Chain A
Amino acid sequence: MMHPLLGNRSYLNIYFAAWLVLAAAQAVILVFTQELAWGLALLDGLTFNTMYAALGVSYWFMVKALAGDNVSFLRTVENHGFAALATSLLWIGAGYVILTHVFSPGREYVAFLKATLVWRGLIGILNYFITISLYHLYILSVRLRQRAVKEAELKTLVKEAELRSLRFQVNPHFIFNSLNSVNSLTLTNPEKAGEMTVKLGNFLRYTLAKGDQKTSLLREELDSMRLYLDIEKVRFGDKIEYDERCPESCRSMKIPGMILQPLFENAIKHGVYESLTPVKIRFDCQRDGDFLKMRLQNSLDDENIQRTGAGIGLKNVRDRLERMYGMKNLFAIEKTDGYFTVRLFIPVKET
């Protein structure tokens, strides 16, 4: 940490100006209470106060040396006590010598000076503690500011990490099963195997790329979801029926990257994976005022008895939207007569 006075010219000026004011005040008091001559009173005030001002600058190093975390309280008290005493003695000693030997102030003044030395010493000690308290206050304020900055930095880091982990969540089960389908196709239909490999590659690349980006276009998201469904169709054949309705004007709107993937995955997982009959998956969206409203529905087998609880994937989507937009109620789920529905409301930002 820099010296608060030596490291800052204007603080240093203010500091010495303050001591000059004190010197003047002391002179005025001496004139009116001790009936000293103006010349002597000013000499007294200036000599002692400028000397103290110089000493005060050096106290910083003492404060800094003792301000570490590993210094015991007792040691701090000892050191400051000793320093206060020593600097005060030095101060009044030097002041006395300068005033009596450099100047010739007269016997009356020297007698007054001698009589007030003890008091001056006590004031010196008091000054010492006032000065170091101010230094301590300064250190404290600097540390508080640093901590606030650090905390803010940490918060952004944590938030980013959270968002990143919420974004990439392609189920490993899907990846390995798709590879198994590729293996199968190489044995029966090599041409289709090639097609499937490309689709899988494109889909995975998209999910990885969007893992680092905050937003993407609805068009890109839907393209990637069609790839995803195409791959799942190879595995499940006619068990998937997909219907997409999205006005052209909505397709170029910006939405959080990879926000649809968990919704589609949920529809596949709880719809298709759990069903013996074909499952209808339907996406539609519309602009409504300041919001882009999206809806994904999947049909459920009526006698579907859930084995697993509501997906963590959906909860992540809700959390992500809340964090990104600072608004609640951007996410809703509903289960009615054979359909499971997820609704997203994305605030539209005009660019």
Chain B
Amino acid sequence: MAEIRVLIVDDEEPARLVIKKYLQSHSDMVLVGECSNGFEALKRIQQAQPDIIFLDIQMPKISGFELLELLDEKPVIIFSTAFDQYALKAFEASAADYLLKPYSQERFAEAMNRARLFLLDRTEHDQALNSLVLRREQETEYLSRIIVKDGSKIQILPVEKLLRLEAQDDYVMLFTEHGTSLKKKTMKFFEQHLDSKEFVRIHRSHIIRISFIRQIELFGKESYKVTLKDGTRLPVSKSGHARLKQMLE
């Protein structure tokens, strides 16, 4: 059997040490790296292509969950956390595997056995991850920041900087003063998780910041266009116009 590639992501060195020690009794596993934050982790994941990631939830700047969102092809994830009631609720509801710090060698071995099975048949694991991500989405009310990936670099985009969003196939393009970034999410997600006092969906493919509108003009019969402060002109759908009217009244 080919060796299984393992990556550790945890911001505390002693916590990483525990995993390294415990791994020593699993000879089919090989450690391909250890990272102390999400930024390092994304790079390492792209280079080393691990099969299994031990992922801490609470880390500086970006959490384990946020890192997970950025991964297109997800390895088998074993979460670890000390105490986080929200995370625990999400885990329990999604059946994803997680280690509660501190954990024993036996509990660790159990997680490894599950992970080996998942590597052979990923269905159950992927389902659990999807339901976990979905659950986290439902729990967030309004976003305050958006984590985006530019190659192997992670950017944190505060929502205050966001000017408009445009649908691009499976992605949404986010526009700020400084440029654009792509995020793999749906327009519907952003419509639901951006403050509706600040943003309005004017079209199937467009969400705009209300304060970024320069003017709205009639374009043909019963059809409108919006001009933004940077000069961009965007179409407004019928329902988009209704929402816009309601917002501006």
Residues of A within 8 A of B (CB): 172-173, 175-177, 179-185, 187-188, 234-237, 273-276, 301, 303-307
Contacts and interface: CB of A to CB of B under 8 A. Distances in A.
Given A173-B82, A173-B83, A173-B84, A276 B60 contact: yes
Of A173, A184, A276, A306, chain B has the most CB atoms within 10 Å of the CB of: A184
> Which secondary structure dominates chain A's binding surface?
helix
8 contacts: A173-B83, A176-B100, A179-B102, A180-B12, A180-B102, A184-B14, A273-B58, A301-B60
Interface stretch (B15-23, B43-51, B227-235): B15-23
B61 interface: yes
Of A173, A303, A304, chain B has the most CB atoms within 10 Å of the CB of: A173
Nearest to A274: B60
A187 B18 contact: yes
A234 B82 contact: no
Of B12, B15, B83, B145, chain A has the most CB atoms within 10 Å of the CB of: B12
Interface in B151-165: 156, 158
> Which secondary structure dominates chain B's binding surface?
loop
A182 B82 CA distance: 13
A87 to B, nearest CB: 70
Interface of B: 11-15, 17-18, 21, 37, 39, 58, 60-61, 63, 82-84, 100-102, 144-145, 156, 158
A176 B102 contact: yes
Contacts of B21: 184, 187-188
Given A175-B83, A305-B156, 10 more contacts: A177-B12, A180-B14, A180-B18, A183-B101, A188-B21, A236-B11, A236-B12, A276-B37, A304-B61, A307-B63
A188 B11 CA distance: 18
B53 to A, nearest CB: 18
Contacts of A176: 82-83, 100-102
Contacts of A179: 101-102
A175 B101 CA distance: 10
A183 B82 CA distance: 13
A179 B12 CA distance: 12
Nearest to A182: B102
A185 B15 CA distance: 10
A267 to B, nearest CB: 14
